[in-house]
Structure 1
Amino acid sequence: MRVISGSARGTKLAALPGEDITRPTVDRVKEGMFSALQFILPGAKVLDLFAGSGQLGIEALSRGAASCVFVDQDRGAVRIVEQNCRAAGVQAQSQIRNTRADTFLASCGEQFHVVLLDPPYRHDTLAQILPQVARVTAPGGTVLCESELAASLPDECEGLCKKKQYRYGTVLVTRYEKEREE
């Protein structure tokens, strides 16, 4: 697993062994996700929820995002995110939180331009957490959700509108955009 583009391109990233806590996003899926974000990443505030190894948030920082908040409830995953941020040279733009996603969202007073969601598969987590994610997504912001193909996701949720879905083998990436305020 590596950073595929930007200032940290080629940096090797560590992951926890096994797939019970983290499931690294394959390069082909990651490249597709970030192609969809290329014009909005420079200067963006990013939230990497269910961070795992932190590879999605680190990729965003490498491609010009201003800052990223990484959230994971697993202490081992948080240590890996810290290690990977140091390796990629992005620790100054990173905040790392060791807490549950719903707990973080409930107390979060910030808004993010980009939210990256890659929760554990087959638990219906995305559909459950999208209303809270909508609250912290800035008007005009983008939410990218990685899931299994069978995931049931709403077309609209609290101002988030499903814009496109991308299929990569057994992986589905869903793009939501938050309505702009008038």
Structure 2
Amino acid sequence: MRVVSGSQKGRSLKPVPGNSTRPTTDKVKEALFNMIGPYFEGGLCLDLFAGSGGLGIEAISRGVDKVIFVDRDRMAIQTIHDNLSSSGFTEQSEVYRNDAERALKAIIKRELVFDYIFLDPPYKKQQLVKLMELMDREALLADDGTIICEHGSDVHLPEQIGSFVQYKHENYGMISISIYKR
């Protein structure tokens, strides 16, 4: 597992120990960023099921200003901190140990609006539609923002969720990427 492109291209990232997380493969990560970027001129990003932090770190490497990382697993949080430290991105990040819904409620209170939101929940516990409906109601995505969902290819997300419309969808074996815009 590594940073695929940008300022930290080639940097190895530590995976979360154990079997509790499933890191995005470098091939899928590269395809995902080619679909939404591949490079950025600033912006605020939310990595809601962050795992090792690989997606958010890739986003910073490619030009995003700041990423808020959220995961509920203690080992994942430690791994995110380690990966941010080794990549030099600690100052461009906030890391929180929380479940997705509680994290979103805290974010709503801060009145943050994101340019990019990564949703890569555990495949067995998909809550994508419910979380996206909350994000839509609370206007957490900038008008020209993007939501990127990684999910099992057996999960079929609706073409529209609230004001979010799916504009790209690709399958990579057992993994699918669905991208939404307002």
- TM-score, normalised on structure 1? 0.92
Could you tell me whether the CA contact under 8 Å between 1:127 and 1:152 is conserved in 2?
Answer: no
> Which residue in 2 is equivalent to 1:50?
49
Deviations 1:61-86 (A, max 9, x none): 00000110001111111110010001
Aligned length: 177
Gaps of 5+ in 2: none
Deviation at 1:133, TM superposition (A): 2.9
The Cα shift of 1:172 comes to 0.3
- What are the Cα deviations for residues 98-118 of structure 1, in whole angstroms up to 9, with x where unaligned? 111111112212010000111
* C-alpha contact (below 8 Å) 2:28/2:172 kept by paired residues: yes
Q: Per the alignment, in what secondary structure is the counterpart of residue 36 of structure 1? A: helix
Report whether the alignment pairs 1:67 with 2:54: no
CA distance in 2, matches of 1:96, 1:11: 20
Distance in 2 separating the partners of 1:159 and 1:120: 25
Report the residue type matching 2:146 in the other structure.
Answer: T
Q: Which ranges of structure 1 fall in alignment gaps of 5 or more residues?
A: none
Structure 1 ranges of 4+ moved more than 4 A = none
2:155 counterpart (148, 151, 162): 151
**Could you state the TM-score of these two structures normalised by the residue count of structure 2?**
0.92
**Where in structure 2 are the equivalents of 1:29-178 lying within 5 Å?**
29-38=28-37, 41-108=40-107, 109-134=111-136, 135-178=139-182
Q: Matches of 2:159 and 2:39 in 1, distance apart?
A: 22
Q: Secondary structure of 2:124's match?
A: coil
Judge which range, 55-64 or 120-129, deviates more. Answer: 120-129
Q: Per the alignment, do residues 42 and 19 of structure 1 end up closer, same or farther by CA in structure 2, a change over 3 Å counting? A: farther
Is the CA contact (8 Å cut-off) linking 1:165 and 1:172 kept in structure 2?
A: yes
